[in-house]
């Protein structure tokens, strides 16, 4: 099989090697519309374009990531075709390998989502009361255990979380080796900012109390839909940088009609021809996305000890 390839081609592959562990990046924020899904898909496609083997996991019952990647959540999926199929508590649980789909984008596979994922939120309290499952199978480990089944097939997994602090989000945060918190600076006034911080630390302490290990390689805040010339936004971004220092990515994703329009047509700027959008608009948006994604990849490479 692979013997048809020239020897050099193998050394060019950026795939992780022995000792470099799978990177699972959860993209989360409890705020709706903070560009989690947009961040997830651009990052996943960017990494696939760089030659990594990428698995995108749609943990949101709204399934916008799946529809961006060509899966119609209401029509294309049967029972158990989402991550729920691999983390459910009953005997219908199935291997994740059977749920994963190839996408039209080379190097990028998908675990789709749809409303079925809500079942996990409903069933977990009952499962906790019944204590039918062993401690290693406790709710917040189930996502990680399922993802680990296909660990050997991927270099990086990107998990798009729903905008709630539910059991699915907890599972993703526990499974993750790194976290990206997306922030749209317009909505983050100082009051909701402190609310957000409280919720984050609450979330982490809930998981810790339940015995979850939270040793993230890195946590980064990603400024999205950024309008650098907007005064209030500039103040919020400055505040975030003073609070979180280097945990806020230096690059930001600019607010751009090119990104918004690409979202409507379910194609990203990595997929469409530049000619379809005004050149300067397209280039500026793409540059900001590449800069953000490049910083995240640098973080991954540092974890792998490649720098």
Q: Report 152-211 residues binding ligand ATP (CB under 6 A).
A: 163
272 contacts ligand ATP (rule: CB under 6 A) = no
Check if the beta carbon of residue 250 is closer than 8 Å to that of residue 295.
Answer: yes
Read off the tokens for 5: 């390839």
Q: At what angle do helices 167-175 and 190-209 cross, to 10 degrees?
A: 70
Which entry of ligand ATP, Mg ion, none binds 33, CB below 5 to 8 A by partner kind? ligand ATP
- Residue 200 binding result from ligand ATP, Mg ion, none, given CB thresholds of 5 to 8 Å by partner type: none
Quote the tokens at residue 107. 């190097």
Does position 32 interact with ligand ATP (CB under 6 A)? The reply is yes
259 binding ligand ATP? (CB under 6 A): yes
What one-character-per-residue DSSP string does 186-254 give?
TT--HHHHHHHHHHHHHHHHHHHHTT-----SEEEEEE-SB-TT-HHHHHHHHHHHHHHGGGB-SS-PB
CB-nearest residue to ligand ATP: 263
Which bin fits 225, alpha (ψ -120 to 50), beta or left (φ > 0)? left
Nearer to ligand ATP, 138 or 248 (CB): 248
Dist CA 105 CA 206 (whole Å): 37
45 binds ligand ATP (CB under 6 A): no
CA dihedral over 271, 274, 275, 281, signed as positive or negative = positive
22 vs 27, beta carbon nearer ligand ATP:
27
Residues making contact with Mg ion (CB under 5 A): 36-37, 64
* Positions 50 through 89 that interact with ligand ATP (CB under 6 A): 60, 62, 64
Selected range binding ligand ATP among 18-26, 94-102, 110-118, 252-260, rule: CB under 6 A: 252-260
| Residue 38 touches ligand ATP, criterion: CB under 6 A | yes
Beta carbon of residue 257, minimum distance to ligand ATP (angstroms, whole number): 7
End-to-end, the C-alpha distance of the chain in Å comes to: 32
Binding partner selected for residue 263 from Mg ion, ligand ATP, none, CB under the kind-specific 5 to 8 Å limit: ligand ATP
Question: Radius of gyration over alpha carbons of the chain, in Å?
Answer: 19
Nearer to Mg ion, 37 or 233 (CB): 37
35 contacts which partner out of ligand ATP, Mg ion, none, CB within 5 to 8 A by kind? ligand ATP
Structure tokens at 131: 């204590």
Neighbours of 127 (CB within 10 A): 19
Instruction: Write down the least CB distance from residue 31 to Mg ion, Å.
Output: 11
Chain residues in the site for ligand ATP (CB under 6 A) = 32-38, 60, 62, 64, 163, 224-225, 253, 255-256, 259-260, 263
């Amino acid at each position: 099989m692979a013997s048809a390839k020239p020897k050099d081609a193998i050394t060019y592959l950026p795939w992780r090697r022995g000792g470099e562990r799978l990177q699972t990046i959860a993209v989360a924020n409890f705020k709706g519309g903070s560009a989690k899904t947009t961040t997830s898909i651009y990052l996943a496609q960017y990494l696939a374009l760089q030659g990594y083997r990428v698995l995108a996991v749609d943990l949101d019952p709204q399934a916008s990531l799946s529809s961006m990647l060509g899966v119609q959540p209401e029509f294309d999926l049967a029972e158990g075709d989402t991550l729920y199929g691999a983390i459910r508590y009953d005997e219908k649980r199935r291997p994740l390998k059977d749920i994963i789909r190839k996408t039209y984008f080379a190097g990028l596979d998908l675990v789709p989502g749809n409303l079925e994922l809500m079942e996990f939120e409903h069933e977990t309290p009952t499962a906790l009361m019944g204590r039918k499952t062993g401690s290693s199978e406790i709710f917040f480990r189930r996502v990680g255990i399922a993802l680990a089944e296909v660990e050997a097939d991927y270099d990086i997994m990107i998990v798009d979380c729903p905008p709630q602090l539910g059991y699915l989000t907890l599972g993703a945060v526990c499974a993750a080796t790194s976290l990206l918190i997306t922030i749209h600076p317009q909505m983050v006034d100082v009051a909701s900012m402190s609310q957000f911080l409280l919720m984050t630390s609450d979330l982490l302490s809930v998981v810790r109390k339940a015995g979850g290990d939270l040793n993230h390689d890195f946590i980064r805040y990603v400024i999205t839909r950024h309008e650098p010339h907007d005064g209030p936004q500039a103040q919020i971004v400055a505040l975030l940088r003073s609070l979180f220092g280097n945990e806020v990515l230096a690059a930001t994703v600019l607010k751009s009609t090119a990104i918004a329009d690409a979202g409507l047509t379910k194609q990203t700027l990595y997929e469409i021809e530049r000619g379809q959008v005004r050149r300067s608009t397209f280039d500026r948006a793409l540059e900001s996305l590449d800069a953000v994604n490049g910083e995240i990849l640098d973080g991954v490479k540092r974890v792998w000890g490649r720098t």
